[in-house]
């Protein structure tokens, strides 16, 4: 057995081969801005007292979310990140983000107090 290589032997596989990982990837709809309903809210929960503006309801692929985040961060002059299909912008920028997203064609609303 010294010269033989070990191969992964599959006894049973329900959905064909796993050689195509794109077939098992989660489909993310990339809707145009007019068809998306977005919520904007400011929160401090779990952030040691720091205010963060959260944008939820976006239905874009990760690349589009990253581009949108970069544009919004530049307009607000602050940092931010993408977490679980939501955008987080540091600071309280609810009204400014509402204006920017409305100009981009999104149907956005401010939620929360």
Question: Is 19 a domain residue?
Answer: no
Question: Is 22 a domain residue?
Answer: no
Helical residues (DSSP H) of the chain, grouped into ranges: 62-76, 94-103
Question: What tens digit of pLDDT does each residue of 31-45 get?
Answer: 888 888 899 999 998
Question: Is 10 a domain residue?
Answer: no
pTM above 0.85, yes or no: no
**Which whole number is the average pLDDT over 95-111?**
93
Euclidean distance between CA atoms 100 and 46, whole angstroms? 27
**Which whole number is the average pLDDT over 24-34?**
71
Using the predicted structure, report yes or no on whether residue 3 has a pLDDT greater than 80. no
Question: Is 81 a domain residue?
Answer: yes
- The CB density around residue 68, as the number of other CB atoms within 10 Å, is 20
Question: Is 9 a domain residue?
Answer: no
């Amino acid at each position: 057995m010294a010269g033989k290589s070990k191969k992964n032997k599959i006894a049973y596989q329900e959905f064909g081969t796993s050689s195509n990982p794109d077939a098992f990837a989660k489909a993310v709809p990339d809707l145009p801005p007019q068809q998306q309903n977005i919520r904007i809210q400011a929160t401090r929960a779990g952030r040691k007292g720091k205010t963060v503006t959260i944008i939820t309801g976006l239905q874009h692929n990760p690349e589009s979310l990253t581009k949108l985040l970069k544009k919004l961060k530049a307009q607000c002059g602050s940092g931010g990140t993408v977490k679980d299909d939501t955008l987080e912008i540091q600071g309280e920028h609810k009204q400014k983000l509402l204006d920017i997203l409305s100009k981009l064609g999104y149907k956005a609303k401010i939620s929360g107090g």
